[in-house]
Amino acid sequence: MTFNDTFLRSIRKEPIDHVPVWYMRQAGRSQASYRKIKEKHSLMEICEIPELCAEVTIAPVRQHNVDAAILYSDIMIPVKPLGIDVDIVAGIGPVIANPIRTLADVQAMRPLEPDNDLKATLETIRILKQELHVPLIGFAGAPFTLASYMIEGGPSREYHKTKAMMYTAPDVWQALMDKLGDMIITYMKSQVANGCAAIQIFDSWIGALSQDDYRRYVYPTMKRIFEGLADLGVPKIYFGANTGHLLDQWKELNIEVVGVDWRIGLNQARSIVGSKFAVQGNLDPVYLLAPKAVLEAEAAKIIDQGLEQPGFVFNLGHGLFPTAPEDVVTHLTQFIHDYSKRRLSE
């Protein structure tokens, strides 16, 4: 099978014959095959068995014919070796037994050594590099999003403890940002060295911050991370939900792709960041529950906007959810390919 590099070509603004598409959380509970594996193995167990983890990563590529694979893992996996006692609890998400509260807690975090700490993950990437005929996307959680779990102790709506630490103990906050920044740089370098062709930094919950707080408490760390990864030579995608008010700062970052959700139009996002960046997004995943004609009309609208300038990757505005019908996900992928092929040959 020939290698399909449309995803990378589109990011580089080279000619494409169809719009590339992949879905955040494409490997997961929307697939019956995945739910079957989950009857026997937890997420963390799957991540420890490279052959199985590679299989779970490939499954949505086979099933839906998407143009990129995303490594099956979780943003909390590299946090555990730092000394954080994290578990991923079904139906809840990451739960931390020893949340970060003090400077001593942050200082106790040890640096990540991927070759020792994440052997199975790196082996999974090497297997995938052999087996995939589409690019493999590596990823990490961004410092704010990781810190929100590490400080709250689990998922949160309002991030009270997280923000309270920023405002009351800025030194502890910055020490945590520094440690997580180092971890992310080290981890991303090892993922790329072992075969990832692009990376995405998930800052899912960053939209909870004001522009000023982002500039003060988070932006310097993001700047450092992306500068630190610039030499890798792979495209860097930065994604967050609810980030319309932050894009004006994101455009100063050393990234190639801006990932947005449905709360902002692709046109609007481009008008803020300019034509230097590719954009990725931004279908509201709930459209997967709409009648086909409604889903197709919305996808066509996004493709039409995306194709107004070179540099577009179709994605959802946030992850696939467990009850998204599998056959509709396959149909949507086919529709995106067919519709964009027609548009591109006009």
The tokens 């709360």 sit on which residue?
Answer: 263
With CB under 6 A as the contact rule, the residue among 7, 72, 217, 262 that binds ligand CP3 is 72
Residue 15, SS3 per DSSP: coil
Q: Of 70-78, 112-120, 189-197, 246-254, which segment contacts ligand CP3 by CB under 6 A? A: 70-78
Site for ligand CP3 (CB under 6 A): which residue of 9, 38, 41, 245? 38
| 29 touches ligand CP3 (CB under 6 A) | yes
Verify binding: residue 240, ligand CP3, rule CB under 6 A.
Answer: no
Least Å distance, CB 20 to ligand CP3, is 16
Q: Which structure tokens are listed for 284? A: 């509201």
Q: Which positions from 294 through 323 interact with ligand CP3, judged by CB under 6 A?
A: 319
CA dist list (Å): 83 to 96, 110, 113, 175, 279: 11, 7, 12, 16, 36
Element (H, E) at 211: helix 211-217
* Alpha-carbon dihedral angle through residues 227, 231, 234, 237, given to the nearest 10 degrees: 0
Over the window 164 to 203, marking each residue x when it contacts ligand CP3 by CB under 6 A and - when it does not, the resulting string is --------------------------------------x-
**What one-letter code names the amino acid at 40?**
K
CA dihedral angle for residue 150, residue 151, residue 155, residue 161, rounded to 10 degrees: -170
Annotated ligand binding at 211? The verdict is no
Stretch near ligand CP3 under the rule CB under 6 A, chosen from 24-32, 110-118, 263-271, 290-298: 24-32
Q: How far is the CB of 45 from ligand CP3 (least distance, A)?
A: 10
Instruction: Pick out residues in 46-65 that bind ligand CP3 (CB under 6 A).
Output: none
- Which of the stretches 9-17, 89-97, 175-183, 191-199 binds ligand CP3 when contact is defined by CB under 6 A? 89-97
Q: Closer CB to ligand CP3, residue 237 or residue 269?
A: 237
* Among 1-9, 69-77, 103-111, 119-127, the segment contacting ligand CP3 (CB under 6 A): 69-77
Nearer CB in complex with ligand CP3: 70/273: 70
Which two three-digit tokens encode residue 312?
Answer: 């577009």
Among residues 63, 204, 242, 340, the one that binds ligand CP3 under rule CB under 6 A: 204
Q: Are 70 and 26 in contact (CB under 8 A)?
A: yes
Shortest distance, position 25 Cβ to ligand CP3, whole Å: 4
DSSP for 283-297, written as a single string: E-GGGGGS-HHHHHH
Cα four-point dihedral sign 5, 181, 277, 333: positive
β-bridge partners, 312 = 279
81 binding ligand CP3? (CB under 6 A)? no
Residue 24 CB, shortest distance to ligand CP3, in Å, is: 5
Q: Please, are residues 258 and 250 in contact by the beta-carbon 8 Å criterion?
A: yes
The two tokens of residue 90 are 């079904």
Which of residues 90, 97, 104, 293 is near ligand CP3 by CB under 6 A? 90
Residues 254-273 that bind ligand CP3 (CB under 6 A): none
Query: Residue 28, annotated ligand binder?
Result: yes
x-marked contacts with ligand CP3 along 118-157 as a string, rule CB under 6 A: ---------------------x-----x------------
Extended strands (E) in 52-184:
69-70, 86-89, 93-96, 136-141
Is residue 28 within 8 A of residue 93, CB to CB? The reply is: no
How many Cα atoms sit within 13 Å of 229 on the Cβ side? 36
Say if strands 93-96 and 136-141 run parallel, antiparallel, or are unpaired.
unpaired
- Structural contact between residues 156 and 163, judged by C-beta atoms closer than 8 angstroms: no
Residue positions forming the annotated binding site: 25-29, 74, 149, 204, 318
Note the residues at the interface with ligand CP3 (CB under 6 A).
24-29, 38, 43, 70, 72-75, 88, 90-94, 139, 145, 202, 204, 319
Residue positions forming the annotated binding site for substrate: 25-29, 74, 149, 204, 318
